Structure 1
Amino acid sequence: MKRQKRDRLERAHSKGYQAGMIGKAKENCPYHDNDTKAHWLGGWRSAIDDRTVLGVK
């Protein structure tokens, strides 16, 4: 069970990162569960930081 939960959260983080890299707004988060949403937003923030470092608009 723990592995499935971790995989789900890792996938949410990855999807958030992908959304951030293509420039989607954080309001587009598809998750409503607080834990999953937090991981998606964490990925999104990482992507926004990476885009800033790379100079992508």
Structure 2
Amino acid sequence: MRRQKRNQSDRAFHKGYVAAVEGRNHDSCPHENGARHQEWVNGWRQGRQDYWSGFGPRAQAQRIENM
């Protein structure tokens, strides 16, 4: 059985979240504009919010797995 590719918007959100958790800058977004850029930024903001709220590495890893 073949696996379907992940939704590109979901993937961009996930990559943005991981970038924020790793402490990368907002300017490191690989997408210049469009829907994927916006999803990446949304993921980055969510990751930053979780980081600032005190989520530890275990909670962040669990959140990433559930995305």
Given the two structures, how large is their TM-score scaled by the length of structure 1?
0.82
The aligned amino acid for 1:37 is: H
Deviation at 1:55, TM superposition (A): 6.8
The 5 Å alignment of 1:1-57 reads 7-54=7-54
Moved over 3 A (4+): none
Distance in structure 1 (CA, Å) of the matches to 2:42 and 2:49: 11
Q: More helix per residue: 1 or 2?
A: 1
Give ranges in structure 1 of 5+ residues lacking alignment: none
- Give the count of matched residue pairs: 52
Shift in alpha-carbon separation, 1:55–1:8, aligned structure 2, 3 A: closer
Q: Which residue of 1 aligns with 2:64?
A: none
Given the two structures, how large is their TM-score scaled by the length of structure 2?
0.70
Give ranges in structure 2 of 5+ residues lacking alignment: 57-67
- The percent identity for this pair of structures is 29
SS in 2 for 1:32: coil
The aligned amino acid for 2:28 is: N
The aligned amino acid for 2:20 is: G
